[in-house]
Amino acid sequence: MTQRERVAYERIRDWLSSRCGIHYPEHKRDLLLQRLTRVQRAFTYSDLDELAHNLVANPVNEVELAVISAASTNHTYFFRESEILGRFRDDILPNLVNRDEIRIWSAACSTGDEVFTIAMMIAEALGESALKRTTILGTDISAPVIERAETGVFAERQIQQVPAHIRQKYLTPAGLGQYAVSDRIRECCTFRRMNLKSYPYPFKKPFQIVFCRNVLYYFDRADQIATLDAIHDVTEAGGWLVTSVTESIRDLPSPWQHVANGVYRKRTS
């Protein structure tokens, strides 16, 4: 990498950190560089320096969205991390049986695999009638993945972990090796583009459960703390935060009470 390229790379990396809270450590430089190079070529910029200039000094919305999408990791699939989902099913869902309204937020939802997984689990654990009183919001900073989530159509590789009986109930072959989520699952799911770094969050009603998995480790420590605090503010008393088994927030100053690996709760008082 030339000095000119390194300066351009650092400008873009700093922009991602300040604009989105996405932090790329030095050991992931090659990964980010590969992704940025694809954006550079897609917009026919001569080099990385021209991309950095148009991103930082002369911002164009399409370029900003492309860089954000490229920097975001969108590898996901249905029923990811069975250990965490088992706790959600066994320890959290029973508390919602008698709730008139179930409100869940999947932050950094990518293509919606997690959102639809949650809906399927609610239908199986509480009965399909519970879907009528359930609202699941999926948000992500990347517009392209939100658009994909809204289609409700997924490739075979994304649904390989779905138990056979659940697949039969809620997924229908859609041709070209793809599967469509059933309408009764989709009806309780909504998707919106949102930057997790835009505090405070604009929700009028609190959530009982927030899923924030496989995203916090892309933030630096200050943004991790701020994000956890902001999620805490929009969660009702006694509500839950579900993270990944690979993400622990126990070493961060946070108001969340640890319950189990990947599961935290907001105190009731």
Task: Give the architecture (CATH level 2) of 82-265.
Answer: 3-Layer(aba) Sandwich (3.40)
Q: What's the mean pLDDT when you consider all of the chain?
A: 91
Q: What's the gap between Cα 98 and its chain centre?
A: 28
- Give the CB-side neighbour count of residue 238, counting CA atoms within 13 A: 5
- Start-to-end CA distance of the chain, whole Å, equals 54
Identify the bridge partners of residue 122 per DSSP, sorted by sequence position.
Answer: none
CATH class for the domain made up of 3-71: mainly alpha
pLDDT in tens, 179-219: 999 999 999 999 999 999 899 999 999 999 999 998 887 78
Query: Which of 70-84, 208-222, 223-237 has the weakest average pLDDT?
Result: 70-84
* C-alpha dihedral, 37 to 38 to 41 to 43, nearest 10°: -110
Domain-wise residue ranges, the chain: 3-71, 82-265
Strands 207-212 and 235-242: parallel
Q: Which of 112, 80, 79 is nearest to 193 (CA)?
A: 112
CB 197 within 8 A of CB 225: no
Same fold, 3-71 and 82-265: no
Q: Where are the alpha helices (DSSP H) in the chain?
A: 3-20, 29-42, 48-56, 61-71, 82-87, 113-126, 143-151, 164-170, 183-186, 221-233
The structure tokens listed for 105 are 């937020």
pLDDT of residue 75: 66
215 vs 265, higher pLDDT: 265
Residue 150's Cβ-side half-sphere holds a number of Cα atoms within 13 Å equal to 12
The pLDDT tens digits for 9-41 are 999 998 888 877 677 888 888 989 998 998 999
Q: pTM of the entire structure? A: 0.82
For the segment 243-262, what is each residue's pLDDT rounded down to a tens digit?
987 777 888 999 999 999 89
Q: Give pLDDT tens digits for 106-153.
A: 999 999 999 999 999 999 999 999 999 999 999 998 888 899 999 999
Q: Is the pLDDT of residue 59 over 80?
A: no
Residue 50 pLDDT: 93
